[in-house]
Structure 1
């Protein structure tokens, strides 16, 4: 029976003819089926419906009488994997099998995990990579197919480079040493547990709260967490799904500006839904960021991002200006009069009520660069230009940037 199109199937009439059941839309199709299926003795049709329990469509279906199939456990997935290898005359090294089972374990966290179908898809991709690898090494051709770790996951050993990747990932973020240090600890835990054959998911947190004033890097840092967890071999992909309060689910849930969940007509319903999902064992440990007193105990890790110091702001200002080919060596020379004067002005700006930290520093840098190019072509920014601009900053509100 095809449930993907408008033509649902056929029914045998007593006179031997076949009558099609057609619907113009998904709802029409389901309603037609409910009307056609009487489920009475002597009925001459047999209908099989296959679907997902959570995706209820019509209360007319006797869902309480359905056969319920649970997700396969990891031992069952391993058994399916071994059987499919044998059925397809394939073999794999022990390390390759570990990588394959690790992938299945990671993908089990996804809401659309395909169980046995996922195993088949994984083997299909592995065979394709194997053939490409063999084609590039004709001298090593073999009659027997022996799958290697890289056939299942081309980056299966990426955790060996996680520390270097972490430093590179955050090199464009100013003032996040505490965050990098904490994530480095998670990487060490993950490597140690993996070496001991233990499940790292029991120790690595998956729920975080980012707190801090505007412009301190909360959104920027949060967007990098998919890559961080991927490098630890915690996730099967780097995918990060950004959602509004009404879009819950997927691999990593990232609700930006979560305080909005406490505003609006349906705010309480949204918060109650998040609380319910976090309590549900099926979703435990898979949801990120929300705001409600009932959720606080479910988030084990807080990242507190304070206001950027005047020194950090000056470093960022210099970095942004250099990115526009606007340079003044005095900006990073603590012994220069320019450095002292700029530090004092930025310190005054930091104390403004609406100061936006990195966001406003970048706005200031753009204005400075624009002035430099207008006044001096594309020549380096001279000190007198900074001196000229800085006098106006101290009299402005941060919102003007």
Structure 2
């Protein structure tokens, strides 16, 4: 039982107890409850009053919950109406995670897709609050693009958006890849995948390089396909309590989704993440420096880095923002080596020189 459910059980219990006293008092207006009554008569009246009041209260509660949630329940939705925290209880605003997304460098096409998704979710929220029908749509998505372009961060912020809009209770992110889902022996993959899915319940499950699950040659026994079957069943059994995002390179992800009819029907939306341009990579480098409280040289930095970015982008190992972070770490090492033998140590500790960056580039 989670904290949200407890917050509803305590008022229910208090109201029920109060209702018992009130009902017994009303049914015996000539005297205070239990005064002058036989023991058996008192117990009978209390039991009947408790039963009637509890049934009425629970039916009212369930009806209100169903009216708010609409038709988004899973197969055991009637039971869930009693125990699950209500939709749209969050007082948070989706503005904060959306601002985090908007502040990311580049990704304009991705931001448009996210804003469109947010608009639809907000309209659905209002329709539920007004007891109007809502068309059930799959929230699962495919993120395509090279590594290091913000797919994981967007998924994390989307989880926060889903939480603030009441689509998911917690909106937490569980990030995994093939090695987290697939085991080397028969039967272990299903157990491992199911455990991961349960961890992601009421949140977002992000599977990086998901296309490798459909590659039977990777394990020689098709354990990846076993993981897919477990995942699909869990998604169906808990379709209102988990959102799955699968990610990877565009061509590989298209083959992955088409490899199983269940995947094609559940992952209907794809968002493509383009690779960063040299100017965007330069902006990311500057942002990392600001966040870590370093000062970059003004003269010559852009002329040095942009051509280097453009050349390194041609490499198959290029990791976009990930490679920029690695570069900055190397720059910091070069700065530390320089300052360790300098008389200015302690006075210019926040300054990075052009020589530091050139030395770092030469070693990459």
- Asked if these proteins are the same fold (TM beyond 0.5), I'd say yes
Per-residue Cα deviation, 1:236-279 (whole angstroms, up to 9, x for no partner)? 2223344533414333433232133122123354266158638x
Q: Supply the distance in 1 between the matched residues of 2:172 and 2:55 (Cα, whole angstroms).
A: 29
Match among 85, 88, 98 for residue 167 of structure 1: 98
Q: Is the 8 A contact 1:324 1:369 kept in 2?
A: no
Structure with higher RCO (Cα < 8 A, 6+ apart): 2
Instruction: Determine if the alignment matches structure 1 residue 208 to structure 2 residue 141.
Output: yes
Q: Supply the distance in 2 between the matched residues of 1:358 and 1:104 (Cα, whole angstroms).
A: 42
Match of 2:279 in 1: 311
Match among 96, 100, 111 for residue 180 of structure 1: 111
Match of 2:68 in 1: 102
Q: Describe how 1:3-82 pairs up with structure 2 within 5 A.
A: none
The count of aligned residue pairs is 267
**SS at 1:247's partner residue?**
helix
Q: Supply the distance in 1 between the matched residues of 2:175 and 2:134 (Cα, whole angstroms).
A: 25
Q: Supply the distance in 1 between the matched residues of 2:223 and 2:83 (Cα, whole angstroms).
A: 42
Q: Supply the distance in 2 between the matched residues of 1:177 and 1:289 (Cα, whole angstroms).
A: 20
Match among 362, 366, 370 for residue 333 of structure 2: 370
Per-residue Cα deviation, 1:269-304 (whole angstroms, up to 9, x for no partner)? 4266158638x9646686624634222353221111
Match among 348, 356, 359 for residue 389 of structure 1: 359
Per-residue Cα deviation, 1:149-187 (whole angstroms, up to 9, x for no partner)? xxx6895454xx32x223333256433332222122122
**SS at 1:254's partner residue?**
strand
Q: Supply the distance in 2 between the matched residues of 1:342 and 1:211 (Cα, whole angstroms).
A: 27
Q: Supply the distance in 2 between the matched residues of 1:100 and 1:156 (Cα, whole angstroms).
A: 18
Q: Is the 8 A contact 1:210 1:305 kept in 2?
A: yes
Match among 288, 297, 310 for residue 244 of structure 2: 288
Q: Is the 8 A contact 1:258 1:289 kept in 2?
A: no
Q: Supply the distance in 1 between the matched residues of 2:80 and 2:113 (Cα, whole angstroms).
A: 37
CA-based RMSD of the aligned residues comes to 3.9
Q: Supply the distance in 1 between the matched residues of 2:123 and 2:70 (Cα, whole angstroms).
A: 21
Q: Is the 8 A contact 2:143 2:151 kept in 1?
A: yes
Instruction: Determine if the alignment matches structure 1 residue 247 to structure 2 residue 205.
Output: no
Deviation at 1:194, TM superposition (A): 3.4
Structure richer in helix, relative to its length: 2
Evaluate the alpha carbon distance shift between residue 372 and residue 324 of structure 1 in structure 2; reply closer, same or farther with a 3 A threshold: farther
Q: Supply the distance in 2 between the matched residues of 1:234 and 1:341 (Cα, whole angstroms).
A: 47
Q: Describe how 1:123-272 pairs up with structure 2 within 5 A.
A: 155-158=89-92, 161-162=93-94, 164-170=95-101, 173-196=104-127, 197=130, 198-200=132-134, 202-203=136-137, 205-243=138-176, 244-245=180-181, 246-248=192-194, 249=197, 250-251=201-202, 252-261=204-213, 262=215, 263-264=218-219, 265-267=221-223, 269-270=225-226
Q: Is the 8 A contact 1:104 1:119 kept in 2?
A: no
Evaluate the alpha carbon distance shift between residue 213 and residue 230 of structure 1 in structure 2; reply closer, same or farther with a 3 A threshold: same
Q: TM-score, normalised by structure 1?
A: 0.55
Q: TM-score, normalised by structure 2?
A: 0.60
Q: Supply the distance in 2 between the matched residues of 1:272 and 1:387 (Cα, whole angstroms).
A: 45
Evaluate the alpha carbon distance shift between residue 364 and residue 275 of structure 1 in structure 2; reply closer, same or farther with a 3 A threshold: closer
Q: Supply the distance in 2 between the matched residues of 1:369 and 1:303 (Cα, whole angstroms).
A: 35
